[in-house]
Amino acid sequence: MRISASKVMTTATLTLLPVLGGVSAANAGSTGAEVTSCPSDGYITKGDRCTKLSNGYLSIGLGNGGSYISVDYNKTGGSAITGKLGYLRGGSTYYKASQTISTSALAWGEWSGVANPCYPTNGLLYTSGTTYQTPAAISTSC
């Protein structure tokens, strides 16, 4: 699925994949890799942050000087949810379309060509009226 928003000039995709085996948070990078653990402070690298939720891990990775954003949710337990992934940057929030996310699935949203690459950026998951977020990531180029 591709979504273009002329207002923010981004291209985005959302993909659900079965979880086949993962990498640790330390090896996750900003490539949409599965995060299977998260330090209590959420710090993986300057441009990669995560949050442990009760039924999975929410993470964000910045690439291409901060103009590429990947937000991932590795759902590890509980029932399937309907949720949408997004990011918060410069006081503005951007979301993908809602998706059903099953247990043992990795969902991710990607955005490229994003403005203000040096602004701190939080990864978001919105489900059942609640927004969860990662600590802010900052591009390693800034």
pTM of the entire structure?
Answer: 0.79
Q: % helix / strand / coil in the chain, to the nearest 5?
A: 5, 55, 40
Q: What is the arithmetic mean of pLDDT over 84-96?
A: 97
Q: What value does the mean pLDDT of the chain take?
A: 82
pLDDT at position 130 is 98
List the structure tokens of 134. 């990662």
Residue 60 has pLDDT above 90, yes or no: yes
Q: Which residue has the higher pLDDT, 35 or 121?
A: 121
CA distance 47 to 2: 24
Q: Are residues 37 and 113 in contact, defined by beta-carbon separation less than 8 angstroms?
A: no
Instruction: Quick: pLDDT tens for 6-52.
Output: 333 333 333 333 332 333 333 344 445 678 899 999 999 999 999 99
142 pLDDT band, cuts 50/70/90, is very high
pLDDT at position 22 is 34
